[in-house]
Chains A and B, each alone.
Chain A
């Protein structure tokens, strides 16, 4: 795959906190050559929310495949996991 500039995406995990969420995600990211830039987690409105900023610029798989992998992890761990390009949040939350 040709070298691409950085593309920051936000992975959002919501559900019930449990052991090994970050480990599972970090492992999947490393396999696809995706760099983790930042991780945050909080309890919001009684829901566990973890956000992870990742750079998929050098990823070995495309966004659709990343999404499929995340969906699989989500099913196995009973979590909702989404991945979205960061620019959507900037557009919506920054004037």
Chain B
């Protein structure tokens, strides 16, 4: 049956009026076979592979953008966790920084805006090389433009590596003080249960269970979902869930089609479709505004957690029906700085850091892109991270933290990060009572018991 004008119009309107796009196509590249005791040889091999495949990714994505008339907003690369590549090399921070710079140069040459994977899996413990990589993070991320870092500090089966959590508080503070408004911290995400195939930065990397290449797609359409919710102001919540499901089904199918075809053109394996709703600062492209269109007075006011729970459940059901390859994070992103509705909610006092933490217990993906005063103690940063990772570990889900301490800023002031990263109101952190003694104990928080679930 030929497609009807109504169906065509619905799709065209999604892209023209409601910001529907393929948010990112991310090519995972295996670099394990480039490991060597010679840094120059490693960088030469890695750079050649990144440049060649990055250019091909850009070329093929441009062709598909024309064919289907749907913007492919970002083209990115994720590589094997860099800590592995560093294992055979001298354990000096200068080695790690040199490698970061070489990867940055390759990404620039391939015209790729972000390259992920400068990180490590250390949920249970860290090798000497991984310790070295963590030490190198402030320098590596402040001296490069396109490199993103990740650290998996916890998992449901291993518990939480509190030695690393304690150290990371200092690393984040150091990184913040090396970059304007602390913006370098936007390129570092710390995780519990990190997925090995997420296409979204800053946490994207090409996990060790992945093939040589893997093409992962992140779709996004908060604007599309907000629009259908707004068009159904009177239906009950069960029906609202149906409406959202149907819409997400459609946009996931578009992502699946384009991802598969792109992988085919590049002759690489198709990985996953990440159905996360990822907002941008454009008007209407906001997750907070979906919640408000449902009838919650302001994002953060009572009812928000339930509404977000409904939203993410419907998104997953619609997405899972549309594609057998749904994976990655596939949650709802609620970054403060990258969502105009979230910014408004914080500024109006409706959304506090405590409520933000509560929201992450029903949706992925954690405390994301929020600004705090730059003078909060490193132990407090570590304690915020420990709290958030606990939610992930105990609930057997991914959670992450991307915290930006802004040097010299006071609660309530606004900092502008620029571009995709948006701007953020500096949030108040309860620092009257210190948890430093808890963090200084270090050790490993044991893995939770998975039976006896009440």
Contact = CB atoms under 8 A, between A and B. Distances in A.
A10 B256 CA distance: 20
Interface in B335-349: none
Contacts of A63: 66-67
A93 interface: yes
B235 interface: no
Nearest to A87: B257
Contacts of A94: 1
A80 B68 CA distance: 16
A44 B257 contact: no
Interface string A56-95: 0000000110010000000000001011111111111110
A5 B5 CA distance: 25
A64 B65 CA distance: 10
Given A82-B12, A84-B69, A90 B5 contact: no
B3 A93 contact: yes
B291 to A, nearest CB: 25
B253 to A, nearest CB: 4
B11 interface: yes
Contacts of A90: 3
B12 A14 contact: yes
A94 B378 CA distance: 53
A24 interface: no
B324 interface: no
B253 A82 contact: no
Given A49-B5, A89-B8, A83 B257 contact: no
A64 B64 CA distance: 10
Interface in B241-264: 250-251, 253-254, 256-258
A23 to B, nearest CB: 20
A51 B8 contact: yes
Given A49-B9, A51-B8, A83 B69 contact: yes
B5 A42 contact: yes
B5 A88 contact: no
Nearest to B256: A91
A88 B70 contact: yes
B2 interface: yes
Contact of B68 (A47, A51, A85): A85
Contacts of B3: 10, 51, 86, 89-90, 93
A89 B11 contact: yes
A50 B256 CA distance: 27
Nearest to B10: A93
A15 to B, nearest CB: 11
Contacts of B4: 40
A38 interface: yes
Contacts of B69: 82-84, 88
A91 B8 contact: no
Contacts of B10: 93
A53 interface: yes
A41 interface: yes
Interface string B1-21: 111111111111000100000
A12 interface: yes
A89 B7 contact: yes
A93 B5 contact: no
Interface in B212-260: 250-251, 253-254, 256-258
Interface of A: 10, 12, 14, 38, 40-42, 44, 47, 49-51, 53, 63-64, 67, 80, 82-94
Given A42-B5, A82-B12, A88-B254, 12 more contacts: A12-B8, A44-B9, A50-B5, A51-B5, A51-B8, A53-B2, A63-B66, A84-B67, A89-B7, A91-B256, A92-B7, A93-B3
Interface of B: 1-12, 16, 66-70, 250-251, 253-254, 256-258
18 contacts: A10-B3, A14-B9, A42-B5, A49-B9, A51-B5, A53-B2, A63-B66, A82-B16, A83-B69, A84-B67, A84-B68, A84-B69, A87-B257, A88-B69, A89-B7, A91-B257, A93-B10, A94-B1
